[in-house]
């Protein structure tokens, strides 16, 4: 009997995309969400699929331990976990917001990943496909108006490195699939950017990481989508002087007109080539 994939945060946009990709691939799924409405909607969307849907919050160690006990009680073997755990946060300058805004962001976007990994990694056999965390944008560069989310995303990147190292000693692989833009959904279609990834595409990429979990080399952090590191982008980065700490705006010539994200990525690549061990180099990440 095929082993099941556990999807955490299955009631959210990314979680639904992961479930849909898994169903397309014929994988049995245990989908874990936060409310009964989302659970029922998920089952109605996949009436003939091998999907078990559970309502289970993961806001504490106790919650995660209870979820692990329920999963053991299903009497099925598990092949991997994809965790997309995050809250909804207001826009505002970090320096203007009360401290509990940042605390709440960490409580919703960072710590649930730790609680879940602590209790669910032991459920996976040594030959499991792996454990994939899905992280939001802003972890490498500040996200204007969402600095609190950037801090949580940056912390999740480090947590992924630590879990990757610790789990690897026991033959398991943990990786972070890091999104560089918000997710495009039907709900935000009116203002979504053309480059915003779709949930199903993210789901396919997460499954691809699981399918490649036994590859000889795998980085703890994988970017989605990969920055466009063409010679044109690199040439533009060389021609554009770095911004000062007082002015983060990137001058762009009409002939180039590249997205700021590409320019930043090119500079990061050039910096890593010039000084591979300098702080902030991307030597252990791949696209």
My answer on whether omega of the bond before 225 falls inside 30° of 0, hence cis, is: yes
- pLDDT, tens digit, for every residue of 74-114? 999 999 999 999 999 999 999 999 999 999 999 999 999 99
Task: Please tell me whether residues 12 and 92 are part of one structural domain.
Answer: yes
Evaluate if residue 269 carries a pLDDT over 50.
Answer: no
User: Which of 200, 224, 248 lies at the terminal end of a domain, its last residue?
Assistant: 224
Label residue 255 by pLDDT band (50, 70, 90): very low
Task: Please tell me whether residues 135 and 188 are part of one structural domain.
Answer: yes
Task: Please tell me whether residues 174 and 133 are part of one structural domain.
Answer: yes
Backbone φ and ψ of 170, nearest 5°: -110, 15
Counting the structural domains of the chain, the total is 2
Task: Please tell me whether residues 220 and 241 are part of one structural domain.
Answer: no
* Long-range pairs of 137-141 with CB within 8 A, sequence gap ≥ 24: 137/179, 137/180, 137/181, 137/182, 139/178, 140/178, 140/180, 140/264, 140/268, 141/261, 141/264
User: Which of 224, 239, 271 lies at the terminal end of a domain, its last residue?
Assistant: 224
User: Which of 193, 224, 255 lies at the terminal end of a domain, its last residue?
Assistant: 224
Task: Please tell me whether residues 35 and 175 are part of one structural domain.
Answer: yes
* Long-range pairs of 123-128 with CB within 8 A, sequence gap ≥ 24: 123/6, 123/68, 123/71, 123/72, 123/78, 124/78, 124/79, 124/80, 124/81, 124/172, 125/77, 125/78, 126/170, 126/171, 126/172, 127/171, 128/3, 128/78, 128/79, 128/80, 128/172, 128/213
Task: Please tell me whether residues 209 and 242 are part of one structural domain.
Answer: no
Task: Please tell me whether residues 9 and 107 are part of one structural domain.
Answer: yes
Residue 213 has a pLDDT of 60
Task: Please tell me whether residues 27 and 128 are part of one structural domain.
Answer: yes
Higher pLDDT, 230 or 17: 17
Residue 13 has a pLDDT of 93
Residue 233 has a pLDDT of 44
Task: Please tell me whether residues 116 and 69 are part of one structural domain.
Answer: yes
Low-confidence winner among 133-137, 185-189, 203-207, 228-232 (lowest mean pLDDT): 228-232
Evaluate if residue 266 carries a pLDDT over 90.
Answer: no
Task: Please tell me whether residues 237 and 132 are part of one structural domain.
Answer: no
Provide the residue range defining the domain that includes 19. 4-224
Task: Please tell me whether residues 13 and 130 are part of one structural domain.
Answer: yes
Q: Which residues contact 52 (CB under 8 A, 6 or more apart)?
A: 4, 28, 29, 30, 31, 74
Helix (H, G, I), strand (E, B) or coil at 249: coil
- pLDDT, tens digit, for every residue of 201-221? 999 999 999 987 666 667 899
Evaluate if residue 189 carries a pLDDT over 90.
Answer: no
């Amino acid at each position: 009997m095929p082993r099941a994939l556990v999807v955490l945060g299955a009631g959210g946009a990314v979680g639904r995309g992961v479930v849909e990709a898994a169903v397309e691939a014929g994988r049995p799924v245990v989908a874990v969400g936060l409310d009964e409405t989302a659970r029922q909607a998920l089952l109605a969307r996949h009436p003939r699929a091998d999907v078990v849907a559970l309502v289970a919050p993961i806001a504490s160690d106790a919650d995660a331990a209870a979820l692990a006990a329920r999963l053991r009680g299903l009497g099925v073997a598990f092949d991997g976990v994809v965790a997309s755990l995050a809250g909804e946060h207001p826009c505002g300058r970090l320096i203007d917001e009360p401290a509990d805004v940042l605390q709440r962001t960490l409580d919703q976007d960072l710590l649930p990943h730790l609680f879940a990994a602590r209790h669910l990694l032991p459920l996976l056999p040594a030959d499991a496909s792996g454990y994939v965390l899905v992280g939001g944008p802003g972890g490498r560069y500040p996200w204007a108006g969402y600095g609190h989310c950037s801090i949580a995303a940056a912390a999740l990147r480090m947590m992924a490195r630590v879990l990757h190292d610790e789990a690897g000693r026991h033959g398991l692989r943990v990786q972070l699939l890091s999104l560089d833009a918000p997710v495009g959904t039907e709900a935000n279609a009116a203002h979504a950017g053309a480059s915003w990834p779709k949930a199903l595409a993210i789901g396919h990429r997460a499954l691809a990481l699981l399918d490649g979990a036994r590859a000889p080399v795998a980085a703890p952090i994988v970017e989605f989508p990969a920055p466009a590191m063409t010679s044109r982008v690199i040439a533009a980065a060389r021609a554009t002087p770095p911004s000062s700490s007082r002015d983060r705006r990137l001058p762009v010539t009409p002939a180039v007109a590249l997205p700021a994200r590409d320019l930043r990525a090119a500079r990061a690549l050039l910096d890593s080539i010039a000084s591979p061990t300098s702080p902030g180099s991307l030597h252990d990440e791949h696209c």
